[in-house]
Each structure stands twice: as structure tokens, then as C-alpha cells.
């Protein structure tokens, strides 16, 4: 995985993790406090989705529910895409803004402090590609992403071991939300035990329901059929 990484990119990836572990002492961004665990479960895991991001149509990228900027910041560093980091917790976004400045990436990466549902009302169909890790179930992710994506845009979902039920429900409701399953890949991180799956959906049509629904509904009462 490291073969096509420049020295500058490696430095930025390391600095991002270092800054997050530092900030984490005062602002709760992640449960991980250890450098090696952070390299594996944050940096390397984030980059597991890089090939999917590189395949997505050109244009603006957003990481929804970004927390400490994972996978958004590593993917921005590796892809050079214009990137928007979204989180509803204001103090997380304030901490991330400082991190982005210290990385010198303020021209490439911007932030939105607010709910994903509100962003989609303000900037509908404005994105070519979205990622989400540890945010919600697949049905909720499909619903949250759909109104933000341009036609042909990709939703890249990071999952560890989705159960068959979650995959089936996502399949059953995707059409209603204007989304369609495109492809997935899976594998293990370098510890050979952490299993990861990347599942990609494409925005293909107008949703059959008005989106976004009221704030909170997508995550509290996701569509089941």
C-alpha cells in the first residue's frame, strides 16, 4: 500500500495522527490513544477505501460524520480532491479546523459543523463522492447520502462485518432512495486480523420519497422496505 505514497504524503498522514492524538487529550475525538493502533485502525483503515475514491467521478468529496477526520483527511492527502468534512459536534469541527491549518491543507479541505440533513438542504446534489465510516447502518447511509450526491456520484461505505440482514435491507430500499449497489471489496489490514469491507453505491435516480426527512429520522427510523 505504501509503494505509491510520496514522502510528503507520509509526513502529512503521520502529522494528522499525531495532532489528533494530541488534541484527543482535551477534546474527545477517538477512543484510540496509542500511535501504532492509530496507524492501523485510523490511517491504514482510512486508506483501505482509497481505490474506491480514486474510481469515483471527478469533483467535490465529503466525509460524513468525520470525527477526527477519518477517513476524510487521509483520503484528501492521498487524492488531492477538494474535501468537505462534516460533523454535527461543533467542538470536533473547531479542533479539526486547527488540525487542517497545521497540516497546511486549508485551501483543499473545508468543514461543515452541522447535521448532514441540513447540509443536504443547503447544498443539494453538490457532491461527486461521499465516504462514511462508523456513522450508521447502510440503510441510514443511503438515505443521508442520496440528496447530497449528483447523478452518477458514489457513496463509499466502510464496514467491518455487516450482517446479511443489513445488506439485504440496503439492497431492498436502495431504489426507493435513488441509489443502486455498484460493487464491493474486502480484505484484512496489515495485522492480518482486522477485516474490512468497502461497499459502493451510485446515485442513479430521483428518490421516490422526499429527502431529507426530518432531522434524526434517517438514523432513528431507517427505511426497512
Q: Are 142 and 201 in contact (CB under 8 A)?
A: yes
> In the structure grid, which three cell numbers stand for residue 68, read together?
477526527
Candidates 5, 121, 134, 209; binder of ligand SAH (CB under 6 A) is 134
The CB density around residue 40, as the number of other CB atoms within 10 Å, is 16
Closest CA to 130 of 77, 62, 57, 70: 62
Which is nearer to ligand SAH, 6 or 43 (by Cβ)?
A: 43
For ligand SAH, the binding residue among 16, 43, 52, 70 (CB under 6 A) is: 70
89 binds ligand SAH (CB under 6 A): yes
Give 42 or 154: the residue with its C-beta nearer to ligand SAH.
42
Q: Draw the binding track, 152-181, toward ligand SAH (x: CB under 6 A; -: no contact).
A: ------------------------------
Identify the residue among 16, 81, 115, 154 touching ligand SAH (CB under 6 A): 115
CB of 107 vs ligand SAH, minimal distance in Å: 23
Mention every residue, 6+ apart, whose C-beta is less than 8 A from residue 129: 53, 56, 57, 59, 60, 61, 62, 81, 153, 154, 155, 156
CB 148 within 8 A of CB 126: yes
Give yes or no for residue 49 binding ligand SAH (CB under 6 A). no
Residue 90, exposed/middle/buried by CB under 10 A (0-12, 13-18, 19+)? exposed
Instruction: Examine residue 140 and tell whether it contacts ligand SAH (CB under 6 A).
Output: no
- Grid cell 459502493 is found at 200
28 scored as a contact of ligand SAH (CB under 6 A): no
Question: How many other CB atoms are found less than 10 A from the CB of residue 61?
Answer: 25
The interface region with ligand SAH, picked from 4-12, 14-22, 64-72, 147-155 by CB under 6 A, is: 64-72
Binds ligand SAH by CB under 6 A, chosen from 13, 19, 135, 138: 135
> Of residues 12, 20, 73, 87, which one binds ligand SAH by CB under 6 A?
87
Amino acid at each position: 500500500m505504501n509503494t505509491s505514497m510520496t514522502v510528503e504524503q507520509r509526513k502529512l498522514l503521520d502529522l494528522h495522527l499525531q495532532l489528533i492524538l494530541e488534541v484527543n487529550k482535551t477534546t474527545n475525538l477517538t477512543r484510540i490513544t496509542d500511535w501504532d493502533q492509530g496507524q492501523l485502525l485510523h490511517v491504514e483503515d482510512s486508506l483501505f477505501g482509497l481505490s474506491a475514491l480514486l474510481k469515483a467521478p471527478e469533483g467535490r468529496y465529503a466525509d460524513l460524520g468525520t470525527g477526527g477526520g477519518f477517513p476524510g483527511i487521509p483520503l484528501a492527502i492521498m487524492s488531492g480532491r477538494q474535501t468537505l468534512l462534516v460533523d454535527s459536534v461543533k467542538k470536533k469541527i473547531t479542533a479539526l479546523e486547527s488540525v487542517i491549518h497545521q497540516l497546511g491543507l486549508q485551501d483543499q479541505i473545508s468543514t461543515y459543523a452541522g447535521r448532514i440533513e441540513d447540509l443536504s438542504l443547503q447544498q443539494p446534489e453538490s457532491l461527486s463522492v461521499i465516504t462514511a465510516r462508523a456513522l450508521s447502518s447502510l440503510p441510514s447511509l443511503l438515505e443521508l447520502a442520496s440528496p447530497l450526491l449528483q447523478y452518477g456520484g458514489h457513496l463509499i461505505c466502510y464496514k467491518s462485518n455487516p450482517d446479511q440482514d443489513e445488506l439485504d435491507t440496503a439492497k431492498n430500499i436502495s431504489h426507493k432512495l435513488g441509489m443502486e449497489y455498484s460493487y464491493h471489496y474486502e480484505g484484512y489490514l496489515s495485522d492480518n486480523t482486522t477485516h474490512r469491507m468497502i461497499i459502493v453505491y451510485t446515485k442513479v435516480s430521483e428518490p421516490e420519497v422526499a429527502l431529507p426527512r426530518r432531522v434524526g429520522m434517517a438514523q432513528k427510523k431507517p427505511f426497512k422496505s
